[in-house]
A and B are shown apart, each in its own frame.
Chain A
Amino acid sequence: MLKVRVIPCLDVKDGRVVKGVKFVDLRDAGDPVEAAKAYDAAGADELCFLDITASVEARGTLIDVVSRTAEQCFMPLTVGGGVRTVEDIRALLNAGADKVSINTAAVNRRAFVREAAEKFGEQCIVVAIDAKKVSAEGEPDRWEIFTHGGRNRTGLDAVGYAREVAALGAGEILLTSMDRDGTGEGFDLKLTRAISDAVSVPVIASGGVGTLDHLVDGIREGRASAVLAASIFHFGTFTIGAAKDALAGAGLPVRLGGGDIEEAGR
């Protein structure tokens, strides 16, 4: 049976993890490779690196980080942030990323999704959607796509956009609720459900996880295929194992005991 995926996400800036990561036994909490190894050992099902580096020069650092992580972790790795060209994708895949996440570049030019999928296969093209609720109280729910960390409103309807990018070749959608991100109030379940029901590709729910029940809700009510979280794992509030136990306790299929334990124990 296909398992529900639990995906920790690391925000990486200039080659270092920002938003401190609070693991025990880490030699260097700011090193994404160390964090990746810890998540690998803990049985994370995939790992996501989000590059929030502002400068183009720091790109080389990210490539190096991806490459060093790929040497250590034998689980799928998705890398996103500032991916604009086919060359960006190729460089990340060559460094060892398994999937590449595209955000603003897809909003700006939808054909980029098709080009990327045709070149590298749909399975490695993730389209990241940042959506915010724009409907007023009492109106039917409506969400729009925002870019630049929620500052730029695009006028694009989130559900329609999700359908469009899936048809163009996105193999997966990473859906973040801008309203919930960082709040700890839980996923926007209506949004997650609306997008999951609209597309035939898997949807990763993101933004707002504060408790383990939120993860369960994201799968059950949001109908997501995977749940992504950052803070609850980084700050040590919950372990990956606790997240999986909660999902399993709710009757959802999870992968247990497949982690790359020996390597990380060194």
Chain B
Amino acid sequence: MTPPAPVALIDYGSGNLHSAGKALERAAREGGSGKAVLVTADPEVVRRADRILLPGVGAYADCRRGLDAVPGMVEALTEAVMERGRPFLGICVGLQLMATRGLEHGETAGLGWIEGDVVKIEPSDPALKIPHMGWNSLDVARPHPLLDGIPTGENGLDAYFVHSYHLKAAHPGDVIATTSYGGAITAMVGRDNIAGTQFHPEKSQRLGLALLANFLKWAP
């Protein structure tokens, strides 16, 4: 019998599960939530989860294929998150999968939770390198419980980014934070019980661990 899984970290063959898992475990330990983290490819575990984290590293279409390749996973995710309102956090391509579609190497359907397309970053200054790689500050568009207690802005803590595409949300209200790289790049989106970070909290030291601890106690 599978034990109950308070926090499900979805394993679909993508993402740096080790990093995300370790960071979540530490956030759980230090944030005092004491929640157990379970890396899982089992849709039943996802259905029962108290909250769900979807990592993602690599190409959009590959990640979508990987998610579809786990029988029943998209259905379980949709049921838990969209119907039963379980708190959800997507990281990097995990955020991008929340979009209507991804336009990296052709067109791939996303989960359609946040209306918008995932498009190539086109900095106004052509000398800027792509991927957008490294530490950048967050410009918060609207306060969000996941950012509670975290100093942001140019003099705040930085987050670690590594990506060439970003989600262009159809509704500005879905954007929680942006970062500046030859223009505004979507750094964080969310609505109701769903949220996503384009940066990697599991690699963003203090900012990231604080954000993950906030996610573990988030009660949308």
A interface, CB within 8 angstroms of B: 1-5, 40, 45, 67, 70-71, 74-76, 93-96, 98, 118-124, 171-172, 200-203, 225-226, 255, 257-261
B174 part of interface (Cβ distance < 8 Å): no
Q: Mark B135-154, 1 if CB is under 8 A from A, else 0.
A: 11100000000000000001
Q: Which of A5, A74, A225 contacts B202 (CB 8 A)?
A: A74
What's the Cα separation between A257 and B155 when bound, in Å? 10
- Point out the residues of chain A lying under 8 angstroms from B135, CB to CB: 2-3, 5, 45, 255, 258
Q: List 10 A-B contacts (CB under 8 A).
A: A3-B135, A3-B158, A40-B205, A96-B18, A96-B19, A123-B131, A171-B131, A201-B130, A225-B129, A258-B205
Asked whether A124 lies within 8 Å of B57 as measured between CB atoms, the reply is yes
Asked whether A122 lies within 8 Å of B22 as measured between CB atoms, the reply is no
- Point out the residues of chain B lying under 8 angstroms from A202, CB to CB: 129, 131, 133-134
B207 part of interface (Cβ distance < 8 Å): yes
The distance from the CB of B180 to the nearest CB of chain A, in whole angstroms, is 6
B157 part of interface (Cβ distance < 8 Å): yes
- Point out the residues of chain A lying under 8 angstroms from B26, CB to CB: 74
Asked whether A122 lies within 8 Å of B157 as measured between CB atoms, the reply is no
Q: Which of A1, A2, A200, A259 contacts B206 (CB 8 A)?
A: A259
Interface size on B, residues (CB 8 A): 37
- Point out the residues of chain B lying under 8 angstroms from A93, CB to CB: 16
Asked whether A200 lies within 8 Å of B130 as measured between CB atoms, the reply is yes
Q: Mark B61-77, 1 if CB is under 8 A from A, else 0.
A: 01000000000000000
Task: For the complex of A and B, list the 8 residue pairs with the smallest distance between their C-beta atoms, beginning with the closest.
Answer: A121-B58, A96-B18, A255-B135, A3-B135, A123-B162, A202-B129, A260-B205, A255-B158
> With A3-B158, A95-B18 in contact, is A260–B134 under 8 Å at CB?
no
B160 part of interface (Cβ distance < 8 Å): yes
- Point out the residues of chain B lying under 8 angstroms from A171, CB to CB: 131, 133, 162
What's the Cα separation between A5 and B220 when bound, in Å? 36
- Name the residue of chain B whose CB is nearest to the CB of A261: B206
- Point out the residues of chain B lying under 8 angstroms from A75, CB to CB: 160, 203, 205
> With A118-B59, A200-B130, A202-B131 in contact, is A2–B16 under 8 Å at CB?
no
What's the Cα separation between A5 and B131 when bound, in Å? 14
> With A2-B135, A45-B134, A70-B18 in contact, is A120–B58 under 8 Å at CB?
yes
- Point out the residues of chain A lying under 8 angstroms from B203, CB to CB: 74-76, 98
What's the Cα separation between A78 and B36 when bound, in Å? 29
